[in-house]
Amino acid sequence: MRVDHCRRLFFAAIIIVLALPLGAQQTSGTFRWIDFHDPKDQNIVAWIARSLQVEKWTAIREIGVMYDAALVVTTDREGPQSLPSNDSFTIWNASLTSHVVAPLLKGVNLRWIDWENFADDAPAELTVLYDNCHDCAASTFFTSFHYDLAHHQFVARWIRGGQGVLVWNAVPPSAPGVTWTQVYALMSGAENRAYLATWNHFDYGSKRKPSDTIFRYDVDSMTGLERTVELTREDAEAMKLRLCRGQDAIQGLERGQDSALCQQMLNTQPQRKPVTTPPANNRGQSAGGRVNH
């Protein structure tokens, strides 16, 4: 009886291994982009295509793999005569151990920026900017993608209402006579952990005092969860100055530093005056060495 039980466990383990797609067995803890022309990656490409066969898409543009999950980018074209620049995109999480796929976000004009660290002892994350529409006053959103080890899937950060952080809003204020200034930047913080900051300034002229809305988006070092914090008072003023200076901003992920609001803020900052008083031990004499001719 014991031998039969062990034999059943052995064959059950064999069945489980054979049930796994070949691509899932070949992945590792290092993120990599799939090469569509590499014969070694064809099993993963085929697996993803089968997983997405019931979804709406025109082409699979990118597949990134880490452990047992894939970050997949598909594009959708309205018609055969439509320009490729007008394609919309969908980013998916796809499991490599099942046929389960789930959309993470949708948009247009996807721009991959760079890898950034948001959490301690965690791999760097892919950062992106994207827009919400073509042939319109497009608003721009930001997010990053990371592998969630606990749930074996890719996740997009700071998602609300199906989109990432709104960093540039193209919709003008509804009230007339209001001057609206936007500034944002992804910056390097403590211990090289990146965070995003946004500042919206509304100037109402003589009607009322101007108002500011300043948010910081980061990852809690204790829980590993993303946070959205509205800054006020001293924290808000310090963030305004840091945003406008832009010395910690990551290239490609900043905008608004050249605005009149930022230029005015930087010009009104007190400048350190140069020290012209000679030191106490300076007697106006030099003690040069003797020169022999």
- Condensed to tens digits (0 to 9), the pLDDT of residues 141-156 reads 999 999 999 999 999 9
Q: How far is CA 263 from CA 146, 181, 246, 256, 266, in A?
A: 36, 12, 12, 10, 5
Report the candidate in 183, 184, 211, 181 with the shortest Cα–Cα distance to residue 196: 184
Task: Tell me the pLDDT of the chain averaged across its residues.
Answer: 84
185 occurs within a structural domain: yes
Share of residues in the chain with pLDDT > 70 (%)? 82
Is the residue at 133 inside a domain? no
pLDDT band at residue 122 using 50, 70 and 90 as cut-offs: confident
Could you tell me if residue 57 is inside a domain? no
Residue 243 in domain:
yes
In a domain, 216, yes or no: yes
Helix (H, G, I), strand (E, B) or coil at 192: helix
**Sign of the torsion angle spanned by Cα atoms 151, 154, 158, 163:** negative
Answer yes or no: is 148 within a domain.
no
Task: Quickly state the pLDDT bin for 271 (edges 50, 70, 90).
Answer: low
Other CB atoms within 10 Å distance of the CB of residue 187? 21
Q: Which domain does 186 fall in, by range?
A: 172-269
For residue 142, the model assigns a pLDDT of: 98
- The first and second tokens of residue 224, run together, are 């590993």
Instruction: Please state the domain count of the chain.
Output: 1
Strand, coil or helix: 190:
helix
| Through-space distance between the first and last CA atoms of the chain, rounded to whole angstroms | 108
Is residue 9 predicted with pLDDT exceeding 60? no
Task: For residue 85, give every residue at least 6 positions away whose Cβ sits within 8 Å of its Cβ, in sequence order, or none.
Answer: 134
Whether the CA torsion 154, 195, 33, 14 is positive or negative: it is negative
Beta bridge partners of 254: 185
Q: What is the per-residue pLDDT for 85?
A: 87
Inside any domain, residue 265 = yes
Q: Length of the chain in residues, anyone?
A: 293
Residue 160 domain-assigned (yes or no): no
Q: Residue 4: helix, strand or coil by DSSP?
A: helix
